[in-house]
């Protein structure tokens, strides 16, 4: 038995030792575990702290975002306001422009109508008055030191309207054999006009009629005093540039449909030959805007138009190729490079009327460029009139049929010889002036 008890005691002891060992290890484990738990707790705390700090940061950022949002909204609102204001101002501007344009149109219309009625009234009055009054009227109007001529009554009526055209410049052609002897001058007191036919005192001219033949001082020569017309002026004017002659002028006038009331732009005043004709054709209620890029010529032209009393011309010193025109609806471009002016010309036309344009070019290459540009700008109905016009001066020679002598009489007395009327054409004629290119700009719908 004691062996068993001893065994039991040993077993118990060993068991207790094992248990103690195990307890120790368990304690160790517990301690470890505690340490770990403590460590974890510390970590947890620090993490919690970290999280809190992160949350704080997040809140701050949210606040900032909110602030930015509000700022952005404010800016957007401001932008909107500005846009709205801009639109308002823009529409106001447009309204004002429209109103101004309408007013201008109204004013122009009314002015035109007024002028027309005034002229019609004037004309009717002039016809109704008896002859005596005419003469009195003439005398009081015309006794001026410049350009005084007595007239037949109906010429006075014409002069009432056209006196403004050709007020104080008297023309006289001395046509002996050929109109190249034609000269123009202004009648002034105490002056004398001298030429190969003699000396002619202005004082004696004053009081004569237009169309009168006048003898020179020494009675050896004579001249005719002719009423000034643009045709005579073209033949007599001082050339500052190559000018347009009447055949070109008259064709362009018709092709551009110029009439009283037409408004025309002339690019390239030159010596003013065409300008006089346009002024006469568009009188009384039309207008000519003429542009010249050479300053001296522009000034001379301005002076000339003033002296001649042409009050429906506006001369401007301007390079139209670079700077454009202003307004209105018929354009004539007599420039070295008209295609440069065409774009600007297009802007000058009214959009509810047909615009006519004519370009002058002596060379065919210029014509090609002009036509291409016209087509690009939308001009239609281009027609090219090769103005190789020959105005052939046809002279009449009477052919003596004298069967007695072989020699032709040097100066036959035409009434005494038998003859036939025959014509010949001058051997040298002005063959080519320019190619004329015509086009139309159609009105917009």
Partner 1 sequence: MTRNWDIIQQGDWIVIKMPSGNQKLIQLQPNVQIELGKFGKFQSSELIGKYYSVPLEIYDRDKLKRVENTDYLLDFEIDPRVETDATNQEIFDDANSQKLTQKDIEEMKLKSLDGSVHHQTIIKEIVSNNEKFNEKTEFAKAKYIKRKVKKYSKIFIPLFPNARNLIEYHNLKNPEKIHELRIDSLSQILTYANVRAGSRMLVCDDTGGLLATAILERTHGLGTCYFFHDGQNASLEIMKCSNFSNEVLSSFKTFAYQNIGKQPELREIEEGADVKPELIEKINARNANIKETFSTLEQGGFDSLIISTKFDTTEVIKKLEQFLAPSAIVVAYSARKELILEAYEYCRKSPSYANTFLTESWLREYQVPVFTSGTHPNMMMSGSGGFIFSATTVTTPEGLVIDKTTKRRKTSKN
Site string for partner 1, 384-423 (x = CB under 8 A): xxxxxxxxxxxxx-----------------x------x-x
348 contacts 331 by C-beta, under 8 angstroms: yes
Instruction: List the one residue out of 218, 338, 323 whose CA is nearest residue 268.
Output: 338
Q: Looking only at residues 134 through 173 of this chain, which bind partner 1 when binding is defined by CB under 8 A?
A: 151-155, 157-158, 160-162, 173
Report, in Å, the least distance between residue 230 CB and partner 1.
7
Question: Nearer to partner 1 by C-beta: 216 or 344?
Answer: 216
Near partner 1 by CB under 8 A, which window of 32-40, 96-104, 252-260, 297-305? Answer: 252-260
Rounded Cα gap, residues 378 and 400, in angstroms: 61
Question: Nearer to partner 1 by C-beta: 250 or 311?
Answer: 250
Q: What is the largest CA-CA distance in the chain?
A: 208
- The CA distances from residue 215 to 220, 227, 407, in Å, are 7, 17, 36
Site string for partner 1, 87-126 (x = CB under 8 A): ----------------------x--xx-----xx--x---
Report, in Å, the least distance between residue 148 CB and partner 1.
15
Note the Cα 153 to chain centre separation in Å: 42
Question: Nearer to partner 1 by C-beta: 2 or 218?
Answer: 218
The reply on whether position 212 binds partner 1 by CB under 8 A is yes
Q: Which helix (H) or strand (E) holds 188?
A: none
Determine the Cα angle at 21 with ends 16 and 24, to 5°.
Answer: 125
Q: Of the candidates 34, 94, 383, 409, which one interacts with partner 1 according to CB under 8 A?
A: 383
Q: Of the candidates 142, 233, 283, 293, which one interacts with partner 1 according to CB under 8 A?
A: 283
Site string for partner 1, 34-73 (x = CB under 8 A): ----------------------------------------
Dihedral sign (CA 131, 116, 110, 314): negative
Report, in Å, the least distance between residue 251 CB and partner 1.
5
Report, in Å, the least distance between residue 190 CB and partner 1.
22
Q: Which residues pair with 317 in a beta bridge?
A: 292
Question: Nearer to partner 1 by C-beta: 167 or 291?
Answer: 167
Question: Nearer to partner 1 by C-beta: 1 or 128?
Answer: 128
Determine the Cα angle at 423 with ends 422 and 424, to 5°.
Answer: 135
187 contacts 170 by C-beta, under 8 angstroms: yes
Q: Per this entry, what is the length of the chain? A: 445
- Give the SS3 label for residue 14: helix
Near partner 1 by CB under 8 A, which window of 65-73, 223-231, 263-271, 400-408? Answer: 223-231
Note the Cα 49 to chain centre separation in Å: 82
Question: Nearer to partner 1 by C-beta: 321 or 440?
Answer: 440
Q: Of the candidates 184, 187, 244, 249, which one interacts with partner 1 according to CB under 8 A?
A: 249
Q: Looking only at residues 319 through 378 of this chain, which bind partner 1 when binding is defined by CB under 8 A?
A: 352-354, 364, 367-368, 371-372, 375
Rounded Cα gap, residues 261 and 112, in angstroms: 8
Both tokens assigned to 170: 């008297």
Rounded Cα gap, residues 81 and 402, in angstroms: 105
The residue with tokens 């009439």 is: 259
- Give the SS3 label for residue 222: strand
Q: Of the candidates 146, 185, 188, 247, which one interacts with partner 1 according to CB under 8 A?
A: 247
Q: Of the candidates 2, 218, 401, 407, which one interacts with partner 1 according to CB under 8 A?
A: 218
- Give the SS3 label for residue 411: coil
Report, in Å, the least distance between residue 211 CB and partner 1.
3
The reply on whether position 25 binds partner 1 by CB under 8 A is no
The reply on whether position 215 binds partner 1 by CB under 8 A is yes
Q: How many residues bind partner 1 (CB under 8 A)?
A: 92
418 contacts 400 by C-beta, under 8 angstroms: yes
258 contacts 275 by C-beta, under 8 angstroms: no
């Amino acid at each position: 038995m004691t062996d068993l008890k001893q065994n039991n005691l040993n077993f118990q002891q060993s068991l207790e030792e094992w248990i103690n060992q195990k307890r120790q290890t368990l304690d160790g484990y517990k301690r470890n575990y505690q340490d770990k738990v403590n460590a974890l707790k510390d970590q947890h705390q620090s993490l919690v702290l970290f999280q809190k700090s992160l949350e704080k940061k997040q809140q701050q950022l949210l606040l900032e975002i909110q602030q930015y949002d509000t700022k952005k909204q404010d800016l957007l609102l401001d932008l909107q306001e500005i846009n709205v204001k801009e639109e308002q101002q823009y529409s106001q501007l447009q309204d004002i422009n429209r109103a101004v344009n309408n007013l201008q149109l109204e004013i122009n219309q009314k002015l035109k109508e007024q002028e027309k009625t005034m002229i019609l009234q004037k004309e009717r009055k002039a016809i109704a008055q008896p002859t005596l009054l005419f003469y009195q009227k003439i005398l009081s109007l015309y006794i001026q030191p410049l350009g005084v001529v007595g007239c037949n009554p109906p010429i006075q009526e014409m002069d009432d309207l056209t006196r403004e055209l050709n007020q104080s410049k008297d023309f006289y052609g001395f046509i002996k054999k050929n109109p190249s002897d034609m000269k123009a001058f202004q009648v002034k007191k105490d002056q004398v006009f001298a030429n190969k036919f003699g000396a002619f005192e202005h004082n004696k001219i004053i009081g004569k009629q237009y169309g009168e033949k006048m003898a020179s001082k020494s009675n050896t020569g004579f001249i005719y005093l002719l009423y000034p017309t643009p045709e005579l002026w073209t033949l007599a004017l001082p050339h500052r540039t190559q000018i347009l002659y009447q055949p070109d002028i008259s064709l362009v006038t018709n092709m551009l449909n110029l009439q009283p009331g037409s408004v025309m732009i002339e690019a390239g005043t030159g010596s003013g030959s065409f300008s006089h004709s346009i002024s006469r054709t568009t009188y009384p209620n039309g207008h000519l805007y003429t542009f010249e890029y050479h300053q001296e010529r522009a000034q001379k032209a301005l002076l000339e138009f003033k002296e001649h009393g042409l009050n429906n011309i506006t001369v401007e010193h301007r390079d139209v190729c670079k700077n454009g025109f202003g307004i209105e609806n018929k354009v004539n471009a007599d420039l070295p490079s008209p295609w440069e002016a065409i774009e600007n010309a297009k802007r000058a036309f009214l959009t509810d009327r047909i615009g006519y344009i004519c370009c002058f070019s002596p060379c065919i290459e210029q014509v090609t460029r002009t036509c291409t540009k016209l087509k690009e700008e939308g001009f239609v109905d281009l027609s090219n009139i090769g103005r190789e016009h020959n105005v052939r001066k046809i002279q009449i020679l009477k052919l003596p049929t004298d069967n007695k002598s072989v020699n032709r009489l040097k100066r036959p007395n035409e009434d005494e010889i038998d003859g036939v009327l025959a014509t010949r054409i001058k051997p040298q004629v002005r063959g080519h002036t320019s190619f004329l290119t015509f086009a139309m700009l159609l009105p917009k719908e």
